[in-house]
Amino acid sequence: MNETIELQPIPTGWLEQIAAGASPAGKGFIVVDGALPPPHVARRSLDHLSRGCAALWCVPFNIVTIVERRIVGGCGFKGAPDAGVVEIGYGVAPACWRRGYALGGISQLLELAKESAEISQVIAHIAPDNQASSALARRLNFSADAGLIEEDGELLVRWRRTI
- Tens digit of pLDDT for each residue in 8-21? 999 999 999 999 99
Q: Quick one: average pLDDT of 10-34?
A: 91
Q: For residues 101 and 136, is the Cβ–Cβ distance under 8 A?
A: no
Q: Domain locations in the chain?
A: 5-117
The pTM (predicted TM-score) of the whole model is 0.93
For residue range 79-127, what is the model confidence (pLDDT) as tens digits?
A: 999 999 999 999 999 999 999 999 999 999 999 999 999 999 999 999 9
Cβ neighbours around 7 below 10 Å, total: 20
Q: Over the chain, what is the mean pLDDT?
A: 94
Q: For residues 11 and 61, is the Cβ–Cβ distance under 8 A?
A: no
Q: Is the pLDDT of residue 2 over 60?
A: no
Q: Which CATH architecture has domain 5-117?
A: 3-Layer(aba) Sandwich (3.40)
Q: For residues 66 and 127, is the Cβ–Cβ distance under 8 A?
A: no
